[in-house]
């Protein structure tokens, strides 16, 4: 099996500097060393270092597209693909890649590490060899993310710890597999409509707003004025907002009247947004807000950027939110 690695940056390849950790490790040399004598030695793993290598906190949709372009560039030369990535926004990237690569037809596995590869206790070795091993199993379909002994669906995963070696979780579905001898694999529903010939990712103006006790209508109005292209509202529980707060629901209603999609997610990391379950969510549902179902925040945000990049706006965009493109949410009829 031939595997291509796209190295985008992140702690995994960082070295100490007077300004703190920054990219600079010899990733290719380290990879050759780790794989020497294994079935992936002898030049079976190729690598591209993206330029510039970044801390993933600096990632934008342009970086998502740079990864996608590199994957397509090497599509015909390899059987599987690994993307080496910083952990901070890896779950945004893995969701973004999942929407854009529904026609890729070969596995793409993202991974990174909490500690750089040069440290005695690093998790880089286990994560990179785990990602490569996931490819060797030939069961990792679509875009996935390997971290801390688990393989997750790429658009169902979230960074749940800033320090633990098991730093990612998939609150709605659980993992696809966990390591061991042999690995254990679990069934996860991942169907989606796909997207033929997607246009490249471009930067978009999307506002993410948290509800907090005491937020006023005026503050919310200021946060979405001038109007962005879409609002992702992080509400409480199943999608509730403070509906008794004078004027607050009117602000949401007026944004929707301006043809700005208002997408409602939850502050719960494990959530099922059901607008209309309570009076406090019903008001915004009637105004035309759309819930994110059991999508992670990362999957919902990347999906909005994807749909905007495809030229969708307003109601047309909102209508795609409850439909699965790449297995990012459990369709409503599957839950009955």
Query: Which residues have a catalytic role annotated?
Result: 11
Give backbone dihedrals phi and psi of 233, rounded to 5 degrees, phi first: -95, 120
C-beta of 56 vs 280, nearer to ligand ASP? 56
Instruction: Indicate if the alpha-carbon torsion angle 82, 198, 234, 209 is positive or negative.
Output: positive
C-beta of 23 vs 293, nearer to ligand ASP? 23
Alpha-carbon dihedral angle through residues 241, 243, 249, 252, given to the nearest 10 degrees:
0
Minimum CB distance to ligand ASP, residue 175 (Å): 19
**Strand locations in 10-44, DSSP E?**
14-15, 22-23
Residues that bind ligand ASP (CB under 6 A): 9-11, 55-57, 86-88, 112, 114
Q: Bridge-partner residues for 112, per DSSP?
A: none
C-beta of 93 vs 173, nearer to ligand ASP? 93
* Residue of this chain nearest to ligand ASP (CB atom): 86
C-beta of 162 vs 197, nearer to ligand ASP? 162
Minimum CB distance to ligand ASP, residue 264 (Å): 28
Minimum CB distance to ligand ASP, residue 15 (Å): 13
DSSP state of 177: E
Minimum CB distance to ligand ASP, residue 81 (Å): 19
- Alpha helices for the chain (secondary structure H): 27-35, 61-73, 90-100, 124-137, 217-223, 248-257, 279-287, 297-309, 314-320
């Amino acid at each position: 099996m031939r595997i291509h690695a796209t190295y985008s940056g992140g702690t995994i390849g960082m070295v100490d500097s007077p300004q703190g950790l920054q990219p600079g490790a010899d990733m290719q040399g380290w990879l050759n060393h780790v794989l020497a004598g294994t079935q992936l030695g002898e030049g079976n793993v190729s690598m591209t270092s993206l330029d510039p290598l970044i801390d993933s906190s600096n990632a934008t949709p342009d970086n998502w597209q740079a990864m996608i372009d590199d994957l397509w560039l090497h599509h015909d030369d390899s059987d599987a693909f690994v993307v080496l990535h910083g952990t901070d926004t890896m779950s945004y990237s893995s969701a973004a890649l999942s929407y854009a690569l529904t026609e890729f037809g070969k596995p793409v596995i993202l991974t990174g590490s909490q500690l750089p590869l040069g440290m005695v206790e690093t998790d880089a070795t286990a994560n990179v060899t785990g990602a490569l091993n996931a490819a060797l199993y030939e069961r990792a379909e679509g875009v996935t993310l390997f971290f801390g002994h688990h393989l997750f669906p790429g658009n169902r995963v979230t960074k749940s710890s800033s320090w633990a070696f098991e730093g990612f979780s998939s609150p709605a579905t659980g993992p696809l597999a966990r390591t061991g001898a042999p690995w254990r694999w679990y069934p996860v529903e991942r169907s989606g409509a796909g997207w033929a010939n997607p246009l490249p990712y471009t930067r978009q103006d999307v506002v993410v707003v948290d509800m907090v006790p005491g937020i006023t209508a005026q503050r919310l109005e200021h946060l979405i004025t001038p109007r962005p292209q879409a609002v992702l509202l992080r509400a409480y529980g199943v999608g509730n907002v403070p509906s008794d707060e004078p004027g607050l629901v009117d602000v949401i209603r007026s944004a929707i009247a301006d043809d700005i999609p208002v997408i409602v997610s939850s502050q719960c990391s494990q959530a099922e947004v059901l607008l209309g379950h309570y009076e406090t969510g019903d008001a915004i549902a009637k105004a035309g807000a759309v819930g994110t179902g059991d999508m992670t925040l990362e999957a919902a945000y990347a999906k909005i950027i994807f749909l905007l990049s495809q030229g969708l706006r307003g109601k047309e965009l909102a209508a795609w939110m409850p439909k699965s493109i790449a297995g990012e949410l459990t369709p409503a009829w599957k839950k009955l």
